[in-house]
Amino acid sequence: MIDELGRRARHAAGQLRSATAAAKNAALEMAADRLEEATPTILEANEADMVRARDDGVTGALLDRQLLNPDRVRGMADGLRVVAALTDPVGSTTAGWTLPNGVKVARVRVPLGVVAVIYEARPNVTADAGGLCLKAGNAAILRGSSFTLASNMAIADVMRSAVAAAGLPADAIQIVEDTSRQGAKALMTAREHIDLLVPRGGPSLIAAMEADATVPFVVDGAGNCHVYVDEHADLSKAEAIVLNAKTHRPGVCNAAETLLVHRAVADEFVPTMARTLGDAGVEIRGDDTARHLVPEMKAANDDDWETEYLDLIMAVRVVDSVDQAAEHVNKYGTGHTEAIVTERIDAADRFVAATDSAVVMVNASTRFTDGGEFGFGAEIGNSTQKLHVRGPMGLEALTSERYILTGDGQVRS
């Protein structure tokens, strides 16, 4: 099964490698138009998925996440138009020089080839991930949830027809119909077929990939993000940043989970911040020092330091120094995003150097770790690993680089 998909994808990738931006953009624009036109067909498929999911006992937010309606189909189409408008990363020369013997060296950005995406019961990811892979010149193998298979197939059918109409191979977008666990494992180990596996799911998917995957993959890991308020912080900036980092959108990976406060400003800052957060509906769990300052605060235990709440809960700890703050971050953090609030250059430099996360904010909210905020136009995810790409992943994360050397007969002596 995966062998057949893989062969088709590899063949399509060979054609996509030299597809022009114009052809790829035409395919994306046409896919957007055709998705809107096909709304009745897509909603019919989605209704079948919804029935199946309800029969299986799916409810609430999970069920809502897989629901499509005309607005959401339009949202997918608009997403594809945004991707069409992005600059094509393929073909840019990222470095170039001339060897002493006159051979010219160019390092050129190229598609990766075949990109597989594993995702949860969110049919919009089919359009989103398929569109991004296509824009970067890759053939996509998309494996969603069994609960959204009909929706995913309907969306992919429309996109495949648009890709073909633009003169590109329809197999640029393929759906894995085997949504079993064995199917996932087969995908994760298909080294000959897959150049990159992108996970768009929760911790259990990442854990499965870390345990089983032998294909190259990126880790889009958890965000246990920290804000450290230094002894030399402007406390009004600190208050705004902590409030924003915690409450602006608590359910996402770049929300802050733990607040670290320098002892020298704890007396003043902890009670104020506790009030502000409390007013915003945030439950606070503190260490002994923090609870001494705000006695009604719940006690934090070791689990709290490790937890990505993704909720209106924040852990608070009082520390003695920048180094102790960094030590806490390095012990409990997930390498996603940390922030320091300070007016002093030496403290900022020390915090940046002593931590090892993908992104460090100096006097800014952790919420800025985002492909859109970074100006990438689209986001495939956020890498918390160190190889290939780190931090917000835009289209470039779906590309590779190769070298083209041009001479006029040079040989090595």
| Distance (Å, whole) CA 389 – CA 91 | 19
- Distant-in-sequence contacts of 359-366, Cβ < 8 A, 24+ apart: 359/391, 361/337, 363/234, 363/237, 363/241, 363/339, 364/241, 364/339, 365/241, 365/244, 365/245, 365/248, 365/339, 366/225, 366/227, 366/245, 366/254, 366/255, 366/256, 366/337, 366/338, 366/339
Is residue 354 close enough to count as binding a second copy by CB under 8 A? Answer: yes
Site string for a second copy, 331-350 (x = CB under 8 A): -----------------x--
Q: Which of 162, 159, 129, 163 is nearest to 143 (CA)?
A: 129
Q: Which of 1, 7, 18, 96 binds a second copy (CB under 8 A)?
A: 18
Q: Which of 73, 75, 50, 48 is nearest to 63 (CA)?
A: 50
Shortest Å, Cβ 377 to a second copy = 13
| Distance (Å, whole) CA 90 – CA 97 | 19
* Location of structure tokens 């800025």: 368
Pick the closer one to a second copy by CB: 224 or 365: 365
Q: How many CB atoms lie within 10 A of CB 184?
A: 19
Is residue 384 close enough to count as binding a second copy by CB under 8 A? Answer: no
| Distance (Å, whole) CA 398 – CA 112 | 6
| Distance (Å, whole) CA 133 – CA 178 | 21
Q: Which of 173, 170, 176 is nearest to 132 (CA)?
A: 173
Q: Which of 113, 144, 199, 371 binds a second copy (CB under 8 A)?
A: 113
Shortest Å, Cβ 278 to a second copy = 19
Pick the closer one to a second copy by CB: 161 or 400: 400
Shortest Å, Cβ 387 to a second copy = 4
Site string for a second copy, 198-227 (x = CB under 8 A): ------------xx-xx-x-----------
Instruction: Identify residues 57-86 at the interface with a second copy (CB under 8 A).
Output: none
DSSP state of 250: T
Shortest Å, Cβ 6 to a second copy = 15
Shortest Å, Cβ 25 to a second copy = 19
Number of residues that bind a second copy (CB under 8 A): 67
Q: Which of 21, 183, 352, 377 binds a second copy (CB under 8 A)?
A: 352
Is residue 401 close enough to count as binding a second copy by CB under 8 A? Answer: yes
Is residue 243 close enough to count as binding a second copy by CB under 8 A? Answer: yes
| Distance (Å, whole) CA 371 – CA 381 | 8
Pick the stretch among 29-37, 123-131, 241-249, 278-286 that binds a second copy (CB under 8 A). 241-249
Q: Residues interacting with a second copy, by CB under 8 A? A: 14, 17-18, 97, 99, 103, 105, 110, 112-113, 191, 195-196, 210-211, 213-214, 216, 234, 236-237, 240-241, 243-245, 248, 330, 348, 352-354, 356-365, 367-369, 373-375, 385-388, 390-391, 400-412
